[in-house]
Amino acid sequence: MNSFFSGTRLRDMIRAIRACKTAAEERAVVRKECAAIRTSINENDHDYRHRNLAKLMFIHMLGYPTHFGQMECLKLIASAGFPEKRIGYLGLMLLLDERQEVLMLVTNSLKQDLNHSNQYIVGLALCALGNICSAEMARDLAPEVERLLQFRDPNIRKKAALCSIRIIRKVPDLAENFINPAAALLKEKHHGVLITGIQLCTDLCKVSPEALEFLRKKHTEGLVRTLKDVVNSPYTPEYDIAGIADPFLHVRLLKLLRALGQGDADSSDAMNDILAQVATKTESNKNAGNAILYECVETIMSIEDNGGLRVLAINILGRFLSNRDNNIRYVALNMLMKAITVDAQAVQRHRATILECVKDSDASIRKRALELVYLLVNETNVKPLTKELIDYLEVSDQDFKGDLTAKICSIVEKFSPEKIWYIDQMLKVLAEAGNFVKDEVWHALIVVISNASDLHGYTVRALYKAFKTSSEQESLVRVAVWCIGEYGDMLMNNVGMLGIEDSVTVTDSDIVDVVEIAIKRHASDLTTKAMALIALLKLSSRFPSCSERIKDIIVHHKGSLVLELQQRSLEFNSIIDKHQNIRSTLVERMPILDEATFTTRRAGSLPAAVSTSDDVPAAPSSSGGDFLQDLLGVDLSPAPTQSGTNQVQKAGTDVLLDLLSIGAHPVQSSSSTTDILSTHSK
Nearest one of 505, 575, 507 to 536, comparing CA atoms: 575
Q: Is the pLDDT of residue 616 over 50?
A: no
Q: Confirm if 658 and 629 have CB atoms less than 8 A apart.
A: no
Under DSSP, the state recorded for 190 is S
pLDDT of residue 661: 42
In sequence order, what are the residues at sequence separation of 6 or more whose Cβ sits closer than 8 angstroms to the Cβ of residue 321?
329, 332, 333, 350, 353, 354, 356, 357
Highest mean pLDDT among 83-87, 163-167, 600-604: 163-167
pLDDT category at 651 given cuts 50, 70, 90 is very low
Q: Is the pLDDT of residue 222 over 70?
A: yes
For residue 69, give the 3-state DSSP assignment: helix
Q: Is the pLDDT of residue 659 over 50?
A: no
**What pTM value is reported for the model?**
0.70
**What length is written for the chain?**
682
Highest mean pLDDT among 83-97, 211-225, 575-589: 211-225
Beta bridge partners of 240: 245
Residue ranges covered by each domain of the chain? 1-96, 619-682
pLDDT in tens, 357-367: 998 889 999 99
Under DSSP, the state recorded for 650 is H
pLDDT of residue 479: 94
pLDDT of residue 602: 67
pLDDT in tens, 21-67: 999 999 999 999 999 888 888 888 777 788 889 999 999 999 998 88
pLDDT in tens, 236-293: 888 888 888 899 999 999 999 999 999 899 999 999 999 999 999 888 888 899 999 9
For residue 244, give the 3-state DSSP assignment: strand
Beta bridge partners of 245: 240
- Alpha helices by DSSP H, 502-594: 508-520, 526-542, 547-555, 563-578, 580-586
Nearest one of 84, 136, 147 to 106, comparing CA atoms: 136
In sequence order, what are the residues at sequence separation of 6 or more whose Cβ sits closer than 8 angstroms to the Cβ of residue 468?
none
Q: Rounded distance, CA 475 to CA 462, Å? A: 15
Compute CA 532 distance to the chain's CA centroid, rounded to the nearest angstrom.
Answer: 38
Mean pLDDT of 526-542: 90
Q: Is the pLDDT of residue 380 over 80?
A: yes
State how far the alpha carbon of 655 is from the alpha carbons of 508, 528, 544, 559, in Å: 24, 17, 22, 24
pLDDT of residue 7: 57
pLDDT of residue 634: 39
pLDDT in tens, 490-523: 888 788 778 787 777 888 899 999 999 999 888 8
Rounded to a whole number of angstroms, the CA Rg of the chain reads 38
Mean pLDDT of 328-333: 93
pLDDT in tens, 416-460: 999 999 999 999 999 999 899 999 899 999 999 999 888 999 999
Q: State the chain's mean pLDDT as an integer.
A: 83
